Structure 1
Amino acid sequence: MRIFSDFRLGSLALVGLLLASCAGKAPVVADYEVVPIPLEIKTVQEASFVMKDGTTIYYTVGNEKMRRNAEFLASYVESQTGIRLNVKEGGEGQKGILLQLGLEKENPEAYSLEVKQGQVVITAPTEAGVFYGIQTLRKSIGIAEGGSIELPAVSITDEPRFGYRGMMLDVSRHFFSVDDVKCYIDMLALHNINRLHWHLSDDQGWRIEIKKYPKLTEIASQRKETVIGRNSGKYDGQPYGGFYTQEQAKEIIAYAAERYITVIPEIDLPGHMQAALTAYPELGCTGGPYEVWTQWGVSDNVLCAGNDKTIEFVKDVLAEIVEIFPSEYIHVGGDECPKTVWAKCPKCQARIKALGLKSDSKHTKEERLQSFVIHEAEAFLATKGRKMIGWDETLEGGLAPGATVMSWRGEGGGIEAAKQGHDVVMTPNTYLYFDYYQSKDTDTEPLAIGGYLPMERVYSYEPMPKALSPEEQKYIIGVQANLWTEYIPDLKQIQYMVLPRMAALCEVQWSQPDKKDYESFLKRVSRLVDIYQKNGWNYATHIFDVRLDLRPNTETGTLDVVAQTIDGAPIYYTLDGSEPTSSSQEYTGVLKIDKPCTLRTVAIRSSGKSKVTTDEITFSKSSMKPITMLQPINKQYEFTGATVLVDGMTGNMNYKTGRWIAFYKNDMEAVIDLKEPMEISSMTLHTCVEKGDWIFDTRGITVSVSDDNQTFKEVASESYPAMKSDDPNQIYTHKLEFASVKTRYVKVKALSEHEIPSWHGGKGNPGFLFVDEIVLE
C-alpha cells in the first residue's frame, strides 16, 4: 500500500499544478462544456453575466427544496471560488441568479440554463431538474479562487437519457461510516447520479439493524478476522465489523434525498446469507453451526427454502426494510445461490415435491425452488406498494411478475428480461464493475479483484442492445456501475477506484449517444478532476499518463507505436529498459519498432512527470505477419482481433487487458502468412487458465504447413488431458518442436475445452480458451 500512497501523493501534486496553471486570474471565464455534456448549448449575442461577491441567488417563495437548492449553489461557488453569494426568496425581474419552476417538459429532471446580461436563470419542471442545472453551472465555473467569474451569454437545454442512473456501494465486505457514505453521495451528486444502490448484507457481514432479529447486528455484523489478499489461507487475526442503526440509515437516506438521490437497499437472498445463518442457524439446511465468513467468494450455506421459518424471516426483514427506506425499489439480490445443500436437504426436496417443481432443459428443480423464494419476496413487497429488483439470476426458474432485473453477467439477462416485458437496469461487469483494475500495470496498483476496466472502455458502453427492437428497448430504464469492496478497506480507496471512471459512467447515463466523443470527454474531465482535488477526493490519475496504441504493421513488419497525452505534454522514451527522462529521445511521430526491446515512455510537465509505461516487445518469425482466423474469436474478448497473436507482446494473468483473445464453443484456428518461405522448427503458444471463470487449458494443438495456403501438411501435434480440480490457475506454455521445414504458410489449431469436467460447477458446458502469442522459430 506504500507504493499506492506515494504514487497518489505525487500524482495529485502533479495534476494539481498542471490544472492550476490552466486557471487564469480574475475574471475567470466559465466553460459550459462539462461532464456530462449537455444536450444543447447555444451561444447568445449578449453581454456576459459577472458573478462576484454579493451576487444574489433568488428562489421560489415558500419552497423549501428550492431554498436548499439555492444554498447548495452558494456553498459550491464559495468552495470552488471563494465568492460569497446571497440567498433570498423571490427575485422576479431582479438581477442575479434565479432558480425557478415552470419549464414545460415531460422529463422531470430536464432543465434550461439561460445566461444573459444581469441574469442567470435556471428553470425546470421539478426541483430535481433545477438541481441538475446547478450542477452544470457549478462545473462550468470550475476552480477559480479570487476575483470574479464571467459567465458568457448562453442558452442550455438539457435532460437525462435515462431516468435510473445508479451507483452501487457494497458495505458488507468492508464497512464504511455514515460520513463516508455521505461523501460517496456527494460524489454521486456531482455526477448527476440519482440512485445509490446500498448492498447491506452478505456472507462476510450483516450491516443493517433489524429490531425483530437483534442477533443480526449482535453476531452477524462481526467476523473474527479477515483473509489476507485473495483467499491466501492466511488471516489478519483482527476482529472486524460494523452496522448502521435504523436511525443512521434514515439519516443517510435524508442526506441523499436532499440531493435528489434515492437509496435502494439490498438484502441479498436466498444466497449470500452465511452471516445471517451464524446468528440464526435454524434458518439453514444443516442447522449449523456457522460463522460469519472470513474469506471472499460465495458460501454454499444458504437459506433453507424448505423451511417455513425462512419465508417468515424474509418477510419480517423486508417489512422493517420498507419502513426504513421509502424507495420504490427494494433489491433482494437473488444472485450466486449455490444449490448443492438444497439438493441434499429433506425439507427443500419436500418443498420441491409439494410445489410440483420439475427439472427441464432450461432449469433444474432447485433453480425453480429459488424462484419460489424470490416470488414470495416479490409478492410481499407488492403488498407494501413496492417493486422488487434483483440480479439477472432471478430469471432462473421464471421471473416474478412485477420484478425488475439488473443485468450484471454481461447483457444477456437484460436482453432476455426486456423481451419478456420486464424493466431492466444494465450493469454488465464487462463495462461497469469499478472494483476491476484500471491499469494493465497491476504491480503499481492497489490490490483489486482482477479484470481490466480502463476509463475508455467504461465510456464506450452503449446500454441499448442492438438485439432488442425499439419497443423492447423501452424496457431498458437505466444504467448502473457497481463497487464491490473485498479489496477496498477505506474511503480513500473507494474514491481511487471510482474517480474519474464515474465521470465516464455519468456521460453514458445522461448524455445522448450522438453527443459523446472520447477525446472531447478527456478534455472536459481534466477540468472536472480539479473539483475532485478541491474536495480532497483521492482520484486515479491514469488519464494524465502516456496513452499508447501499439499495432502490428504487416506491410513493413514493424510494431507501430502511436503515443499521446491528454494535454499535449511532451513524451520521452527509451528502448533499452532504462528509465526515460527529459534527456531521453523525445517522441515526435509514429515509432516503428523492428527488433526486440523494452519500450518505456513518460510524459514530462513543468510540474513533474507521469507514471512510466513499460512494454516488453519480442520478435519471432511470426511477429507482425498477416494472420487469418479460420474460426471466430469470441466477441466479448475480441479486443483488437487476430493481430493479438502476432504483435510481439504477451499477456499476464489478467486476461482482460487486451493481450489475450478468447474462443468459446469453437477452437482457435489461425493461418500465418510468413510472406516468403522460411525455415521453422518450433511453435510456442501460451494459454491463460482461470478455472473459476470457466477458462481452461487447450485440449490439443496441431501445427500444419503449406506453400500455397490450400494444401496443408501436419508437422506436429499434441493432446492434453482434461484439467483436474487441483491443476493451478496460471499461464501454460505449450512448445511443439518438429523437424525443420521451409514453408510460407503455417496453420495452428488449438482445441478448446468443449465439455467442462464433472468436478467443476460449470460441468458439461463449454469452457473458454484464452491465447496470446503464436511464436514461430
Structure 2
Amino acid sequence: MKRMSGVLLAAMLLLGKLQAQQVSIIPQPAKLEVLSGHFLINAAVSLQYNEPALLKPVADWFKAAIADVSGIRLSTQPNAARRIVLQLTTPVKPTDESYTLDVSANLITIKAKSYGGIFYGMQSVLQTLPAIRTNALLQVPCMRVQDAPRFGWRGMHLDVSRHFFGPEVIKQYIDLMATYKMNTFHWHLVDDQGWRIEIKKYPKLTSVGAWRVDQNDKVWGSRPQAKAGETPTYGGYYTQAQLKEIVAYARQRNVTIVPEIEMPGHVASAIAAYPELSCTQQPQLPLTGGDYTNMSSNYCAGNDSVFTFLQDVLTETMAIFPSTYIHIGGDEVDKGPWKKCARCQQRMQQQGLKNEEELQSYFIQRIEKFVVSKGRKMIGWDEILEGGLAPEATVMSWRGEAGGIEAAKMNHDVVMTPGSPCYFDHYQAGPEGEPRAIGGMNTLQKVYSYEPIPAELPADKARYVLGAQANLWTEYITTAEHVEYMVLPRMLALAEVVWSPKETRDWQGFNQRLQPHFRAFEQKGLHYSKGNFTVNIKPVSANGQVQVQLSTEAMNGAIYYSTDGSEPNVTSQRYTSPFTLQQSAVVKAVTVIQGEVMGVKAASQSFVLHKAVGSAVQYVHPVSRYYQADGLNSLTDGIRGMHAVGKFWHGFSGKDLVATVDLGSSKTIQQVTLGCLQRYNDWIFLPQSVMVEYSIDGQSFTTLGTVSNTVSSNEKASIIKDFTVKAAAVKARYVRVTAKVIDACPKGHSGEGKVGWLFADEIIVE
C-alpha cells in the first residue's frame, strides 16, 4: 500500500481545519469533526427524547426555536425515518455540562449526563442554521462533536440599579447568554441609586427606593442631588411574580440567576426608604447619580435591627431565587460613618474588634451564618477579605486578581472578574466615535486573551477558580440597545475563554468564526460593535533608541501611518514591520479594509526623544499592579501619557513616586520634566510638588530643583501637567525624581479624607 505524501496529508489536515471553521460554533467545541453531507430539518423530522420529566422543557424550547427560524413544527412520531434524538444518559449528573453531538443524513443524536449538556448540544445545532425565518433550507452539516466546558462558572453580570431595564430586556440578555453557553446571570438588583426587588415586608424599598429624580441629561458624576418637592419619576422594580417568571425562563435555558443584595455599603436607596437603618438615622432623598455629599450609604453595623431587616430581605429573596449562591456585595464600604457612630464603636468593643475592617468582617460573617443556615452559599466582592474572610465565603475578584489569588491560597472558591479585561462598561474601541463609557479600554482581543487562572497561583490551588465573569455597570448605559452594544461581541470572546480548552484558543480562528455571528446580529436587529479599528501604537525602547510597533485587531486590516503629524490615508506609508524614530515625532495611524479608512479618527501618539529614553528605572515604592502601563520602564519609553487612564500612566495609591533613572553613562543635563495627570472623578490628583536630584555614583545625590503644584485639587477637568525643573548644566549618570502625593482626597470629594492616586509619565531628561 502506498504511503500518503506529506503534501497530501498537510492538505487534508488544512481542509479539515477549514471545514471546522465553516461550522462557526462559538464557543469552539473541544473536538469537532466535519463530515460530508447534511441533515435536512423539515416537517417530516421527529424530535424524540427519553426521561420526559427532565427533558420536556428543553425539548419544548428546541421545538419553539426551530419554529421561530422556519415555521416548521417538529413531530414526535416514534418511527419517523429522520429523527433528532435527545438522550439523557445514566447516571444523571446535573453539574456535568458535557455533551456529544452526532449528525448524519438521517439522524441527529445528542447525548449528555445533564439537562444542561442536552441544551448545549442543541445550541450547537442551532448555530449552524439561519438566525431568522427565511425560505432557506434548514441544513445541519454532518459532524461529530465531543464537547465540555473548561469552567463551571461562566458568568455575565448586569447592573439594573443605576438604570432599570424591564423584564423583556432581561429575558433577551438571558437568551444571548444561553446562545453562547454562559450559565450564570449575576443580577445586581440593589445599589445606591435604586432598589429593584419587591420585598413585601418592606414596601417602601420599592415605593421610595426604586425611584429618583430624572437627570439622565447630565453626566453621572455631575448630577445635582434631589431637592425637596422634586418628583422622583425615573426608575422601576420587579415584582416577585415577575422575578419568579424570569427565574423559570432562565432555568429552561440552563442559566442560574445569582441575585445580589448589596451590603453593608452601597445602600443609599434602602436608607432613603428607611433612614433608621443608617448610623445617622437622618432622612434623605434617593441619590440621583454620583454625588454622595452628606448622604448615608452604609447600614449601621451596631444596630441589631439592621440584621433583622437583612434577614427578612434575604428570606424573601431566597424564596424567589433557588440558586446555590446569594451575592451580598461587600464592596467599597465607606467606614468613616462607623468611626463616628457610638453604636458601631460599642459593637467593636463588645466583640473585641480592633478596627472598622474587622467590624466589616463581623458584619459579613454574621450574614454568612444566616445564609448558610438556609442551605445556601455566600459570595461577595473581594473587599470581604478585609478584616478576615468569612469561613465558607466565595470571593469575586474585581480589583485585579490579587483578591482571588489570596482567597484561593486560603482554599476558598473564587470567580475571576478583574476590571481589566472583564468590565464591559469600559470602552471596546475608539474612544472617538464610541458611546460615552466610564473609562478604560477592554477590546475584543484583550478579552479573548484573558486567562482566568493567574500565573502566580500555585498549581494545586487552581481548582478553586470556579471560572470568570464579565460585569456591565450602567452609570452611562440607559437603553437596551446600549446594553447590547457593550456586550456584543465581547461576551462571545469571554464565552470561548471559559468554555473552550485553553490550548485550542486561536484569535484568528475566532475572528473568522465571528463573522457569521455579526451577520446574525444584524438580521436579528441586535446592536454590536463592528470592531476595534483603532491602531495600537506601541513603543519599544532600548539603548537610547525608540522603535514603533503598530497593530490592529481588525480582521484583514492593513495599517497606514505618518510620522509628521499629518492625517494618514491609503496613500501614506503602509506598515509592514517596526520602524525606528530618529527624532521626536507625532505618529498617526489608521486601519484600512478593502481600500476604506475605518474608524472615526486616526490613532495618534507623541514620541519625545531625550537623554533618558530606554533607560532603566528603579522605584522606592512599587507601581500599582493595576496601572503598570507597558512595564517598569514606561516612564522612559519616549511616549507621553494622554487622557486615557489605563494606557501609559504609572499609578501610585497613597504613595510618593520616587524613581531613579540610570542614564547608562555620565551625561550633561540641565532640565528634567515629569508629566502628571489629574482626573478628579477617578481619585487621581496632581502631586503637591516634584523634586529632581542628580548623582554621579548613585549614592550621593544633589538637588537640581523643586517645583510646586499650582492647580487646585478640586479642579474637575482632566488635566495633564508638566512639572519642569531647569538649572545650570551639570554632569549626572543618575536622576532621581520624587513626586509627593496629596495627603488625602480634598474636602467635598466622594473620597474625602481617603488616599488618592498619583499618575505619572514621562521622565524627560534634556
Counterpart of 1:367, as a letter, is: E
Instruction: Please identify, of 712-721 and 235-244, the stretch whose mean Cα deviation from structure 2 is larger.
Output: 712-721
Matches of 1:460 and 1:105, distance apart in 2 = 34
Match of 2:12 in 1: none
1:286 aligns with: 280
Answer whether contact 1:434 1:497 (CA < 8 A) is retained. Answer: yes
Q: Residue 489 of structure 1 aligns with which residue?
A: 478
Equivalent residue letter for 2:270: A
Task: Provide the rounded CA distance (Å) in 2 between the counterparts of 1:268 and 1:100.
Answer: 41
Answer yes or no: is the 8 Å Cα contact 2:195–2:209 preserved in 1. yes
- Write the distance in 2 (CA, Å) between the matches of 1:163 and 1:402: 18
Matched, 1:208 2:211: no
Per the normalisation by structure 1, the TM-score is 0.84
Counterpart check, 1:749 vs 2:737: yes
Change (3 A) 1:179 1:680: same
Query: In 2, are the aligned partners of 1:110 and 1:124 still within 8 Å (CA)?
Result: yes
Residue in 2 that maps onto 1:320:
316
Segments of 5+ residues of structure 1 without an aligned counterpart are 1-27
Which residue of 2 is the match for residue 385 of structure 1? 375
- Does the CA-based 8 Å contact 1:60-1:89 persist in structure 2? no
Is 1:247–2:241 an aligned residue pair?
yes
1:231 is paired with a residue whose SS is helix
Q: Which amino acid aligns with 2:98?
A: A
Decide which of 518, 531, 537 is 1:529's aligned counterpart: 518
- Provide the residue aligned with 1:438 in structure 2: 428
2:418 paired with 1:428: yes
* Shift in Å, 1:244: 0.8
The SS at the match of 2:127 is helix
Corresponding residue of 1:350: 346
Give 1:270's aligned amino acid.
P
SS across alignment from 2:244: helix
Q: CA deviation at 1:196?
A: 0.9
| CA–CA distance in structure 2, aligned partners of residues 556 and 151 of structure 1 | 59
Corresponding residue for residue 395 of structure 2: 405
Are residues 418 and 710 of structure 1, via their aligned partners in 2, closer, same or farther at CA, if it must alter by over 3 Å?
Answer: closer
User: Percent identity among equivalent residues?
Assistant: 36
List alignment gaps of at least 5 residues for structure 2: 1-18
Task: Report Cα offsets for 1:574-624 as digits up to 9, x if no partner.
Answer: 55555544455554555555452351313233788444432133443348x
Match of 1:108 among 83, 92, 96: 96
Map 1:8-407 onto structure 2 (within 5 A).
31-43=22-34, 47-54=36-43, 56=45, 58-61=47-50, 63=52, 66-73=55-62, 76=65, 83=70, 85-89=72-76, 94-102=81-89, 108-141=96-129, 147-148=136-137, 151-226=140-215, 228-234=218-224, 239-296=233-290, 300-353=296-349, 355-359=350-354, 364=355, 366-407=356-397
- Cα 1:61–1:377 change in 2 (3 A) is same
Question: 1:7 maps to which residue?
Answer: none
- Asked whether the 8 Å contact 1:432–1:481 carries over to 2, the reply is yes
For the aligned residue pairs, the C-alpha RMSD in angstroms reads 3.6
What letter corresponds to residue 133 of structure 1 in structure 2? G
Shift in alpha-carbon separation, 1:92–1:587, aligned structure 2, 3 A:
farther
Moved more, 293-302 or 156-165: 293-302
Shift of 1:715: 7.1
Letter in 2 for 1:333: G
After TM superposition, the structure 1 stretch with the greater mean CA deviation from structure 2, 373-382 or 712-721, is 712-721
TM value normalised by structure 2: 0.85
SS in 2 for 1:733: strand
Pair 1:30–1:510, CA change in 2 (3 A): closer
In 1, Cα distance between equivalents of 2:333 and 2:686: 27
1:275–1:143: structure 2 CA closer, same or farther, 3 Å change rule?
closer
Corresponding position: 1:600 with 2:589? yes
Aligned to 2:9: none
Question: How many angstroms apart in 1 are the aligned matches of 2:291 and 2:750?
Answer: 14
- 1:15 is aligned to none
The Cα of 1:62 is off from its aligned counterpart by 6.2
Distance verdict in 2 for CA 1:515–1:475, change over 3 Å? same
* Distance in 1 between residues matched to 2:206 and 2:651, nearest whole Å: 45
Q: Which of 663, 670, 674 matches 1:681?
A: 670
Deviation at 1:351, TM superposition (A): 2.7
Aligned equivalents of 1:628 and 1:556: distance in 2?
11
Determine the structure 2 residue equivalent to 1:12. none
Would you say the 8 A contact 2:225–2:287 is kept in 1?
A: no
* Distance (Å, rounded) in 2 between the aligned partners of 1:33 and 1:436: 27
Query: Aligned AA for 2:382?
Result: D
**Cα distance change of structure 1 residues 37 and 335 upon mapping to structure 2, 3 Å threshold:** same
Amino acid at match of 2:358: R
Relative to structure 1, is the Cα distance of residues 105 and 92 closer, same or farther in structure 2, using a 3 angstrom cutoff?
farther
* Secondary structure of residue in 2 paired with 1:382: helix
SS in 2 for 1:462: coil
**1:8 matched to which residue of 2?**
none
| Distance of aligned partners of 1:292 and 1:282 in 2 relative to their CA distance in 1, 3 Å threshold | same
Does the 8 Å CA contact 1:49/1:120 hold for their aligned counterparts? Answer: no
| Separation of aligned partners in 2, 1:682 and 1:579 | 32
Report the counterpart of residue 627 of structure 1 in structure 2: 615
Superposition deviation, residue 669 in structure 1: 2.9
Distance 1:628 1:90, change over 3 A: farther
Deviation string, structure 1 residues 314-335 (Cα, Å, up to 9, x no partner):
1111111111111111112222
- Kindly indicate whether the alpha-carbon contact (under 8 Å) linking 1:565 and 1:603 is maintained by their aligned counterparts in 2: no
The answer to whether the 8 Å contact 1:626/1:674 transfers is: no
In the comparison of the two structures, how many residue pairs are matched? 732
Give the SS at the match of 2:420: helix
Cα deviations by residue, 1:731-771 (Å, 9 ceiling, x for unpaired): 2311121224577x563533464976898999999865432
> In the TM superposition, what is the alpha-carbon distance from 1:716 to its structure 2 partner?
2.1
Q: Per-residue deviation at 1:562?
A: 3.1
CA distance in 2, matches of 1:678, 1:368: 53
| 2-structure distance, mates of 1:643, 1:309 | 54
